[in-house]
Chains A and B, each alone.
Chain A
């Protein structure tokens, strides 16, 4: 995935689309937009950085997972098998991008009114006491669609494709714009690149 920070306006549509797609319970967001100040007064400005799971080539979460619940697919997507996760939270601490969350409990949006039918459908695969994260919307990818955050981005700041193919749109964007990754020094080799403004 490539995220063009020059185009990102910090509208959080991606975060909302993610929540709608995944039906995450209150307090759990697989995606977030960090807001921070860049530059010095009087040239200071607000910057935004959307942060999904980086789906690293060398994931820190996979390295520490003691039960084999975390695994990497052949296409590079890092997933959690919630039937194998014992909820030790080692991965949540180890992830340098804070992309993982622990489902301590699954709260309802409307409290005592119970779960809405929407929540029931979307949360049927969630398991209390396990780690959860962004999965690049694998169920959409398998149907040939794009991840919800990419599809919804109103400024088309996000691009999705095959990083292994040097002629794909994402590879060319990275090459032309000198895309960077977050915390490169850790050697996690993230699959999410940023084009800096």
Chain B
């Protein structure tokens, strides 16, 4: 049998998009929750802005990926009968999230205080709720975009959307931790401990989801097994599993027993950078290793 090859159609732009969509969705969602409970609002209001902006950058990556980007407007003008495509649904979801997310995040900045609503008002709360729901969908959507492609078993599994979703939440929270390092007076050691504990929980869930994903795909068929063989590069095992998941988990656990604020910041900062790199490598590996079922 010939050595199986991963698909070549979708490359780095799609990888970056999938990474940024998860990160932006996660960052917004956690920021919204923090603002809702009025915790660390000084950081969270920036996180709520960064979320939609990062998703916007991710969407621009999608445009760069197109062969004829000038025709991308057709995503919004194609008749409703063609709603069968996840790419159309995604275009509307992304647009709605970016607009609602920005509408929620902007009034908390002095430059935009002329807007007739704020985050505490009923309208602002409604915007936030809607955007938070959309943030969930934005984080799940890349898994569906890839998941409906039946000819690539590595993607065509219901285990992929939860994996991308959890990883999106994980990277979103890591972004929030990194941003809170710039506000040592707002988020002190106990705050970092809280965020670290949530992140550690997410990593455990992610490890379970990743293990289940690989095991399910591996047993699906010959092509799927070939995909997993391609997936398990030293970069994946070292970069995603060890440096991106196990090491940050160990750091968060150790960090819980350290009370010196400067050390906690250093440890959580390192762990968050590792999580971000691991999240990017995870998407790169999954997208590059998608082997198509041979036609015979």
Interface residues of A (CB under 8 A from B): 34, 36, 49, 51, 60, 63-69, 84-90, 92-98, 102-104, 127-130, 182-183, 186
Contacts and interface: CB of A to CB of B under 8 A. Distances in A.
B67 A65 contact: no
A65 B151 contact: no
Contact of A90 (B70, B85, B296): B85
Nearest to A65: B85
Given A96-B293, A129-B67, 18 more contacts: A36-B296, A51-B295, A63-B84, A63-B85, A64-B87, A67-B71, A67-B75, A86-B75, A87-B68, A87-B69, A87-B71, A88-B65, A90-B87, A93-B9, A94-B149, A130-B67, A183-B293, A183-B295
B40 to A, nearest CB: 39
B292 interface: yes
A34 B295 contact: yes
Contact of B91 (A49, A64, A66, A95): A66
Nearest to B91: A66
A130 B150 CA distance: 22
Contacts of B70: 86
Which 7 residue pairs of A and B lie closest in terms of their CB atoms, listed nearest first? A87-B67, A129-B67, A66-B87, A67-B74, A86-B71, A129-B68, A96-B151
Given A92-B9, A96-B293, A85 B68 contact: yes
A36 B150 CA distance: 23
B149 A87 contact: no
Contacts of B69: 86-87
B78 A93 contact: no
A97 B85 CA distance: 19
Nearest to B82: A68
Nearest to A185: B150
A96 B152 CA distance: 9
Given A68-B82, A89-B10, A102-B67, A49 B296 contact: yes
| Residue with the highest number of chain B CB atoms closer than 10 Å, among A34, A51, A87, A88 | A88
Contact of A182 (B87, B91, B148, B295): B295
Contacts of B85: 63-66, 90
A93 B10 contact: yes
Contacts of B79: 68
Contact of B149 (A36, A93, A128): A93
A102 B148 CA distance: 20
Interface residues of B, number: 31
Contacts of A92: 9
Contacts of B247: none
B259 interface: no
A66 B75 contact: yes
A130 B72 CA distance: 12
B194 interface: no
Contacts of B88: 66
A84 B74 CA distance: 8
Contacts of A102: 9, 67
Given A93-B9, A127-B68, A88 B87 contact: yes
A103 B152 CA distance: 21
Nearest to A90: B87
Nearest to B79: A68
Interface string B3-26: 000010110000000000000000
Nearest to A182: B295
29 contacts: A34-B296, A49-B295, A49-B296, A63-B84, A64-B84, A64-B86, A66-B85, A66-B88, A66-B91, A69-B74, A84-B71, A85-B67, A88-B65, A88-B66, A89-B9, A90-B87, A93-B10, A93-B152, A94-B151, A96-B150, A97-B295, A102-B9, A102-B67, A103-B67, A104-B67, A127-B68, A128-B67, A129-B66, A182-B296
